[in-house]
Amino acid sequence: MNKEWELLRYLKRNMGNYCTSKELAEQFEVSTRTIRNYIKRLNVIDPDLIISSSKGYTANPDKSFAEMNNKNVKNQRKIYILRRLIKNVDRGLDLYDLADSLYLSDSTLKSTINFINKDIRQWNLSIKTRDSKLYIDGDPYAIRHLLMNLLNQSSFENFDISYDVQEILGPTIKLDDLYSLSLTYLDSEATNTYFVESLVFHIAVALDRATTKQTTHQVMTSVTAQKIVDEIQTRYALYFLKEDLVEFDELFEHIYHRSTDISALKDNRRIKEIGEVLKELENVYGISFENKDFKDRLIIHISNLYQRAQKNIFSRNLSFEKIKAKYPILFDIAVYLASCLEKKLGIEINDDEIAFLTLHIGSFLKNDPIPSLRLKTAIITPGYLNEGAQIAEQIKREFKDDLLVTEILEGNIFHQLTERYDLIITSFPISEFEQLKISSSKQVAVHDQLLPIEKNAIWEAIRAIKNTYYINEITSHLTAVIRDNHFIVHYTGHTYEEALRAIADKLRKSQSVSDNYFDQLIERENASYTSFPSGIAIPHTLAMDAKKTDVVILIPKESIPWGETNVRLIVGLSISKKDRKIFNKIFQRFVEVVSVKENVLMLSKQENPKQFLSRLIHLLGEGNYYE
């Protein structure tokens, strides 16, 4: 583990106590000068992280250490170096000045540069040394978007992206203020969380390269985008580059349209073809396109997509991997939609365009709300002054979507309870009643006027009870499909095609799928790979029309290249139409869990289906999660 991180952990454990450089040097078996350099480096990453005084060093109690770890320190250093290189793309950076600013030795800096080069190779960029200066080489477009790509990647890998972005903005511009400002103008728009987040991060990165003198005047086609830009430039006396203003406009164009009148589109045949594709999507996923505004907006977006594809111009800038992990069901719908459009319109749709389709569907699709599970609740009181009715009224007001009060009981009747309740709320002290201690119902003690701490206790009880129901439900479904003969450890295939063949063969033999299932799996991979950067692939078909819902799990002996990812765990799925709802219920949470590398690594180490199932259910239900 990195020595700097070890030092930070040591000081955190001794919070409030000052340690001298001599004591720390003895503890870590280094010189006092090395200790001072460690502390300087940490304070470069996060100013005032460690406080120094005549008494020695101590961790700053006002700082949050939850996200500070060795990986984050490396990430912050990487972003610090790249920011400076991007801002000095023509002049370059003096190698020795950079080493001094980071309190790194020349050899450590060179090692760090090698580490960064491995990371940015995927964008065909590299850092090179010429005449004792560092330069970043590559396509200007890729260089300008490198920081945004790194931030998206950092968020996907569970770093604190807000911390990274705030560091870029500096102390004078607050990230929360950019959110508030943007939401002020977006209030009337049909926004979604990811769009707002993406917009604000684009603004933050653009502000980093903004100038104090206006060099161009760009009139934007989006009125909302223009208002946001004007407000920011006026408030902070900074002016965006022309290229960034163009991209803000494009970002709005992808999500919003100033008119939803499809009669303005000239190609009626194209509109008809798009309508046929949407009808097919409706049949497969059960999505209603009766909302004319949504349908018309989507048709306009697809028509624009078609025009871009004809000119071989594609959208970029969004981290489609992040969207795929955050909205897996919507992403699957978008992949199916893209596949149908490719066939019908004779065009190619890349992953970034699929990401925009996902956001479109998520922005405008109005599904019927799924009613929340209401827990059967009894209120038991001594019966003073209509106390039970008062408590019931508060429960109805505060927890109407989660609790259903079926009885208000009075007196010490705990021993008479025969009916099963999910939750018992009582103004009796629970500690006095042995009957309640052995009850299978969860209990919360309250006053006649609920205190904040009691409301929290009720919420915690609701979460715990619903979590139990959720775990019981998913355990029942997963136990039925995760079986010995479909669980293969030390799988020896070398390509994803071989893995897909093995999955299709297993599922065909169990009569879960048709004979052409392998071809359907290949079709889905050709549309967009089902692998994730965390090291898992979840192959399945575009349509959920298998004979039976089933699972095949492959744990390769060696990782298998799958798109741009090497996977160490493969979970092949077949989904029948009748199980579509339960699949959606589990799949969303499953993808959320396996988007974390540590979870994939843990699952890939399980030797049998029983262990795998136990670990998986634990992860799915972790943190009192429920649907």
- Say how far apart CA 506 and CA 499 lie, in whole Å: 11
CB 1 within 8 A of CB 70: yes
Other residues' Cβ atoms within 10 Å of the Cβ of residue 431: 9
Spell out the domains of the chain, with CATH numbers in brackets: 3-59 (1.10.10.10), 70-139 (1.10.10.10), 172-255 (no CATH), 262-363 (1.10.1790.10), 375-464 (3.40.50.2300), 482-624 (3.40.930.10)
Tokens for 500, please give them.
Answer: 């897909």
Q: What is the DSSP string of 52-70?
A: EETTEEEE-TTS--TT-SH
CB neighbour list of residue 23: distance below 8 Å, 6 or more residues apart: 56
Question: How many other C-beta atoms lie within 10 A of the C-beta of residue 41?
Answer: 19
C-beta atoms surrounding 174 within 10 Å: 12
Question: Which residue has tokens 């003969």?
Answer: 485
Q: How many CB atoms lie within 10 A of CB 63?
A: 15
The pLDDT, as a whole number, for residue 135 is: 92
Query: Within 10 Å of residue 205's Cβ, how many Cβ atoms?
Result: 24
Helix (H) or strand (E) holding 444: strand 442-445
HSE at residue 61, side-chain half, CA atoms within 13 A, is 5
Q: Count CA within 13 A, CB hemisphere, residue 412.
A: 6
Distance CA 451, CA 432 (A): 21
Name the residue among 601, 499, 493, 511 with its Cα closest to residue 549. Answer: 511
Which residue is it, tokens 């008119």? 259
Residues facing residue 552 across a β-bridge: 572
Query: Does the global pTM surpass 0.85?
Result: no
Q: How far apart are CA 174 and CA 182, in angstroms?
A: 13
| Residue whose entry in the numeric block shows the structure tokens 């304070």 | 43
* Weakly modelled stretches of the chain, pLDDT under 70: 1-3, 44-46, 63-76, 103, 141, 144-145, 147-165, 167-168, 187-195, 197-198, 215-216, 250-251, 253-267, 286-294, 297, 300, 308, 311-320, 363-371, 412-419, 430-440
For 467-525, the DSSP string reads HHHHHHHHHHHHHHH--GGGEEEEE---SHHHHHHHHHHHHHHTTSS-TTHHHHHHHHH
3-class secondary structure for 388-410?
Answer: HHHHHHHHHHHHCCCEEEEEEEE
Say what the pLDDT of residue 172 is: 83
Q: Mind giving me the DSSP string for 157-221?
A: TT--HHHHHHHHH-SSS-HHHHHHHHHHHHTTS---HHHHHHHHHHHHHHHHT-BSS-------S
pLDDT at 209: 74
Query: By three-state DSSP, how is residue 586 classified?
Result: helix
Alpha carbons 391 and 381: distance in angstroms, whole number = 9
Mean of the per-residue pLDDT values for the chain?
A: 80
Q: Would you state the structure tokens that stand for residue 454, as one six-digit string?
A: 């009691």
CB under 8 Å to 611, separation ≥6 — which residues? none
Query: What's CA 453's distance to the chain center, in Å?
Result: 31
Residues 6+ apart with CB under 8 A from 413: 380
Q: What letter does residue 416 receive in the DSSP assignment?
A: G
Contacts of 311 (CB under 8 A, 6+ apart): none
User: 134 has which bridge partners?
Assistant: 93, 129
pLDDT of residue 390: 92
**Residue 335 phi, psi (nearest 5):** -65, -45
> Hey, what amino acid is at 249?
D
pLDDT of residue 193: 60
**Residue 602: its pLDDT value, please?**
92
Q: Determine the pLDDT at residue 159.
A: 38
C-beta separation of 40 from 5 below 8 A: no
Cα angle for residues 38, 44, 49 (degrees, 5° grid): 75
DSSP letters for 296-354: HHHHHHHHHHHHHHHTT-----S-HHHHHHHSHHHHHHHHHHHHHHHHHHT----HHHH
Dihedral of CA atoms 32, 33, 39, 44 in degrees, nearest 10, equals: 180
Counting beta carbons within 10 angstroms of the beta carbon of residue 496, is it exposed (0 to 12), middle (13 to 18) or buried (19 or more)? buried
Contact 423, 443 (CB under 8 A): yes
pLDDT score at 367: 45
Sign of CA dihedral 467, 470, 474, 479: positive
> For 562, phi and psi rounded to 5 degrees?
-140, 95
- 500 and 462 Cβ atoms separated by less than 8 Å: no
CA distances from 81 to 72, 88, 105 (A): 14, 11, 15
